[in-house]
Structures are given as structure tokens and as C-alpha cells.
């Protein structure tokens, strides 16, 4: 993002609010709190974080919101109700995306549904393909747990990206060890393992209950093993229903 010198606006994130109106689905607020409609249906940028189930004071009282941070021509925060179809379709899409996809620009779009419903669809701007989500069983889905999973996923990606930029050919053994710890964090989130599952695996394979007890050689082996497990899951054919 190019930094413009001289006078200009205060450098803070621009909030975008999702709401179904007659001819638009999201808007900004002016300084005097008037709605400024956004007629464009797509915003392209790099997702930098998410806050789920965030308690916010509104004119109707306290409400839970989902805030998606995205860096485009400027930083934006897309705010939607945590229980809205927009937030739910957003979480389902982010859960599917790989870490490689999340590192690249994505296109967040809005589309109106029935009554006051707004759906979110994420596109890959390089190939114009939409990220298809499966709504089967969504009424029984634990949305809070999914939100926490997606939030952890994005936080781990952010931490890894920061750490990766610090790693060079002159890195110390300790820095490389930290990098492997961060990478295994990412793989474990993708696998969906609980802490107890991880402990059981470490106990069975290495006779240890924590990654912090592993030697550098064991940690590297563990990282490779869970990567191969993850890859095997990705290429496995779907089970017959």
C-alpha cells in the first residue's frame, strides 16, 4: 500500500457495515453517523485478522459482532452480526481456505437473500472462482467453535508470516526451533486435533507429553509426520454416503 505524504485523512481502519437495504448490502458511516451506501458488491484485499463474538454497544443495546480485517487500498473492518448469514457464510469460507490461499488477496462479496438476509461469497481474484461452501447441517453446527477455529487459524498465519520474515541464513538454532513450533501449530489447526489428541500422539510416538520436551530432531520429525497426515487427508477420496 502506497503511503501518501502531506495532508489527508486520519490513518485508521474504515468500518464497513453489512445490512440489507433496497439497493445495497453494505455501507460506511460519515462523521455525523449518516449511512454512506456502497453500491459495489466486492472488496478485494488481504485478510489480516478476524474477531468473532465481539460484544459491541449499538443503538439497540449490546450485540455480538464479527469483525473481519482486510487490507486493500486502505485498512477496512467489515462488521456483521455474529448470528447473521453473512458471518456464517464468511466463517464457512475461511475455514475451507488453505494457508497458501489466505496469504494472497481475496475478494469478499455481498449478495442479497430473502427479506433482510445478506450472504458472503469469497472469490479467488486470480481465477474468478468462488469458494464453494456446504450448508448441510448448519443448524446443528457449533458456530462459536468454528469462529474460534478460524480466528486461531488466521492468528497462527499472521504469527508465522511475521516469524518467517525474520528467518534468514544467519538464523540461530533457537529461531529455527521457534519457526518449527509455529509451523506445527498451523498443521495441528488444519488437522483439527484437540490438545489431548496431540498429547496422546506425542506420548505414543516419542514417549513425551509436550512438544516443548522434544529435541530439535524429534520436533522436525513430528512436523513432517503431521504434514504427511494432513496431505493424506487432503488427497483421500470422499467416503461413500
User: pLDDT of 156-214, one tens digit each?
Assistant: 776 665 555 555 545 566 767 777 888 888 788 778 888 888 889 999 999 998 888 98
Cβ neighbours for 110, distance < 8 A, ≥ 6 positions apart: 18, 25, 26, 41, 42, 86, 118, 119, 120
pLDDT > 90 in the chain, percent: 41
Q: 39-53, 98-112, 207-221 — which one is most confidently predicted on average?
A: 39-53
pLDDT of residue 240: 44
Q: How many CA atoms lie within 13 A of 176 on its CB side?
A: 11
What average pLDDT does the segment 72-78 reach?
Answer: 93
Percentage of residues of the chain with pLDDT beyond 70: 88
* 91: Cα separation from own chain's centroid: 8
pLDDT level of residue 55 (50, 70, 90 thresholds): very high
C-alpha cell at 97: 481456505
pLDDT at 173: 65
The DSSP element (H or E) to which 229 belongs, if any, is helix 216-235
| Entry pTM | 0.68
- Measure the CA–CA gap between 96 and 135, rounded to whole angstroms: 13
pLDDT at 103 over 60: yes
Task: Report the length, in residues, of the chain.
Answer: 241
pLDDT value of residue 241: 40
Domain locations in the chain as residue ranges: 14-142, 173-235
User: Average pLDDT of 52-74?
Assistant: 90
Question: Which comes out higher in pLDDT, residue 60 or 206?
Answer: 206
* Confidence band, pLDDT 50/70/90 cuts, at residue 234: low
Amino acid at each position: 500500500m502506497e503511503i501518501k505524504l502531506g495532508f489527508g485523512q486520519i490513518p485508521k481502519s474504515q468500518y464497513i457495515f453489512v445490512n440489507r437495504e433496497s439497493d445495497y448490502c453494505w455501507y460506511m458511516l460519515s462523521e455525523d453517523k449518516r449511512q454512506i451506501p456502497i453500491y459495489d458488491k466486492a472488496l478485494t484485499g488481504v485478510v489480516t485478522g478476524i474477531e468473532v463474538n465481539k460484544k459491541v454497544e449499538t443503538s439497540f443495546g449490546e450485540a455480538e459482532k464479527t469483525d473481519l480485517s482486510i487490507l486493500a487500498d486502505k485498512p477496512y473492518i467489515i462488521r456483521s452480526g455474529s448470528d447473521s448469514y453473512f458471518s456464517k457464510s464468511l466463517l464457512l469460507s475461511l475455514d475451507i481456505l488453505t494457508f497458501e490461499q489466505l496469504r494472497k488477496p481475496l475478494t469478499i462479496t455481498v449478495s442479497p437473500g430473502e427479506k433482510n438476509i445478506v450472504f458472503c461469497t469469497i472469490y479467488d481474484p486470480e481465477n474468478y472462482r468462488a469458494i464453494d461452501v456446504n450448508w448441510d447441517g448448519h443448524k446443528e453446527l457449533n458456530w462459536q467453535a468454528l469462529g474460534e477455529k478460524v480466528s486461531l487459524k488466521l492468528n497462527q498465519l499472521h504469527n508465522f508470516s511475521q516469524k518467517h520474515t525474520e528467518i534468514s541464513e544467519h538464523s540461530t538454532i533457537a529461531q529455527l526451533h521457534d519457526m518449527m513450533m509455529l509451523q506445527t501449530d498451523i498443521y495441528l489447526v488444519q488437522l483439527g486435533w484437540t490438545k489431548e489428541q496431540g498429547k496422546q500422539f506425542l506420548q505414543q510416538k516419542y514417549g513425551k507429553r509436550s512438544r516443548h520436551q522434544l529435541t530439535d530432531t524429534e520436533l522436525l520429525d513430528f512436523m513432517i509426520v503431521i504434514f504427511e497426515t494432513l496431505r493424506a487427508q487432503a488427497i483421500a477420496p470422499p467416503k461413500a454416503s
